Amino acid sequence: MASREIADDVANFESFVSQRGFQMLVDQMNGQILLGNGTSPNLSGLLLSANRTAFDYTASNPYYQTVDSANEIDCLTVAINNLLILGYSADLILVNPAQFGKLSLLKDSTGEYLKNDNFRIVASNQAVVNGVNVYASNKVSDDAFYIADSSKAFGLVRKGGLNLRVTSEGQDLFKKNLIMMELSARISTLVLRKEATILGDFSDAKTALETP
Distance CA(189)–CA(46), nearest Å, equals 8
Residue 183, pLDDT score: 67
Its pTM stands at: 0.78
- The distance between the two most distant Cα atoms of the chain, rounded to a whole number of Å, is 69
Residue 90, pLDDT score: 97
Residue 41, pLDDT score: 84
Residue 2, pLDDT score: 47
Distance CA(100)–CA(102), nearest Å, equals 5
pLDDT band at residue 44, thresholds of 50, 70 and 90?
Answer: confident
Give me the chain's average pLDDT, please: 84
Higher pLDDT pick, 33 / 12:
33
Distance CA(178)–CA(5), nearest Å, equals 9
Residue 173, pLDDT score: 56
Residue 96, pLDDT score: 96
Mean local confidence (pLDDT), 104-131: 85
Q: Residue 40: pLDDT above 90?
A: no
